[in-house]
Amino acid sequence: MRSKLVAGNWKMHGGIAQNRVLLDLIVTGTTGLRGADCAVCVPYPYLPQVQSLLQPTHIFWGAQNVSQHEKGAYTGEVSAAMLADFACRYVIVGHSERRALYAEDSHTVALKFRATQTAGLTPILCVGETLEQREAAVTEQVIAEQLDAVIELLGVSALAKSVLAYEPVWAIGTGKTATPQQAQDVHAFIRNRIAAHDIKVATELQVLYGGSVKANNAAELFAMPDIDGGLIGGASLVADEFITICRAAQS
Ligand code: PGA
C-alpha cells in the first residue's frame, strides 16, 4: 500500500511573522495524522526558519526549485547541496510556472531532478498539460514527453526515489479542478507508462494531484485509486484549508 503525501507549495508567498503563525497552526492541526505525510515547500530565504520550527515535528519541508549545476558561476542560483544543508527532504522540479515563465524544458528539468537526487533529496517532478493541449487531445503525449526526459537521462529506477505530481496547467490557481475521474485517468496513464519499464517502481511510486485542491474537494480526489495525495498551492497558505486537506489524506 502506498502512503499519501500532502505537500504545500507556498510559491512566492510568506514572511517571517506570518510563517510562524501558519506553521504553528499546521503542526497542531495535523498532529496524530495516520498514513499520510505532510510537507511545505517554501521560498529559499525561509528554509532556516522552517527547519528550526519543523525539526522537532512530524512535518517535512522542501524547496520549490534548484539549480541543475553542482556549483560555480551561476549568479542567483541555489544548489541542491545548499538545500541539503537545511535538511530539505523535497525539491519541486518542473513546476509549470518554471516551465512557462522561466523557459525550463524537460531536459533541464531532468538535470534538476538528477541534481536533487545526487544531493540525497527527493524530487517532486511536476508534469501537466495546458488547456490548449487538452483540447487538442495531446495530453498523454505531453505528459509522456515530460516523463520520458527523466527516464531517458536517468533510467526508470531513478523514479523509485521520487514523487510525481500531475498538475494540469488549466487547473492551477484557477479554481477549476480536474474532476476526480479526469485526474485518475491521467494518473493511471502515468503509472502504466512507468509499469511498461518496471512494475515495482510504478506500483510503489507516489503520484500526487495538483491544481485547485481545496478542503472541499480533496477527499474525492484522494479516494481515487492512483491519486496518492496532493500538491497544494493557494490552499496551503490557509491553515484550516491545509489541515483539512491533510486530514483527507489519512488512511
Ligand atoms: P493551486 O496551485 O493549488 O493554487 O492551484 C497548485 C500548484 O501550483 O502546485
Q: What string of pLDDT tens digits covers the 251 residues of the chain?
A: 799 999 999 999 999 999 999 999 999 999 999 989 999 999 999 999 999 999 999 999 999 999 999 999 999 999 999 999 999 999 999 999 999 999 999 999 999 999 999 999 999 999 999 999 999 999 999 999 999 999 999 999 999 999 999 999 999 989 888 899 999 999 999 999 999 999 999 999 999 999 999 999 999 999 999 999 999 999 999 999 999 999 999 98
Q: Is the CB of 234 under 6 A from ligand 1?
A: yes
| Residue 236 alpha carbon, nearest atom of ligand 1 | 3
Specify the number of domains making up the chain: 1
Nearest to 201 by CA among 145, 163, 168: 163
| Residue 214 alpha carbon, nearest atom of ligand 1 | 3
Q: Which domain holds residue 242?
A: 4-248
Nearest to 166 by CA among 218, 251, 227: 227
How many Å lie between the centroid of ligand 1 and the Cα of residue 20? 22
Residues 6+ apart with CB under 8 A from 105: 99
Query: Given CA atoms 221, 223, 226, 232 in this order, what sign does their dihedral have?
Result: positive
How many Å lie between the centroid of ligand 1 and the Cα of residue 72? 32
CATH number of the domain that 34 lies in?
3.20.20.70
Q: From atom 7 of ligand 1, which residue's Cα is the shortest distance away?
A: 233
Q: From atom 6 of ligand 1, which residue's Cα is the shortest distance away?
A: 233
| Residue 11 alpha carbon, nearest atom of ligand 1 | 8
Q: Is the CB of 64 under 6 A from ligand 1?
A: no
Kindly give the pairing relationship between strand 229-232 and strand 90-93: unpaired
Tally the residues of the chain: 251
| Residue 97 alpha carbon, nearest atom of ligand 1 | 8
Of these residues, 97, 104, 129, 167, which one is catalytic? 167
How many Å lie between the centroid of ligand 1 and the Cα of residue 173? 5
Nearest to 76 by CA among 61, 66, 86, 84: 66
Q: Is the CB of 173 under 6 A from ligand 1?
A: yes
AA identity, residue 88:
C
Q: Give the pLDDT of residue 95.
A: 98
Q: Give the pLDDT of residue 86.
A: 98
Kindly give the pairing relationship between strand 4-9 and strand 206-210: unpaired
Q: Give the pLDDT of residue 1.
A: 74
How many Å lie between the centroid of ligand 1 and the Cα of residue 9? 7
* 104 catalytically annotated: no
How many Å lie between the centroid of ligand 1 and the Cα of residue 54? 22
Q: Beta partners for 221?
A: none
AA identity, residue 242:
F
Q: Give the pLDDT of residue 197.
A: 97
* 95 catalytically annotated: yes
Q: Give the pLDDT of residue 251.
A: 84
For 217-232, b where at least 16 C-beta lie within 10 A, e where not — what string? bbeebbebebbbbbbb
Q: From atom 2 of ligand 1, which residue's Cα is the shortest distance away?
A: 233
How many Å lie between the centroid of ligand 1 and the Cα of residue 73? 32
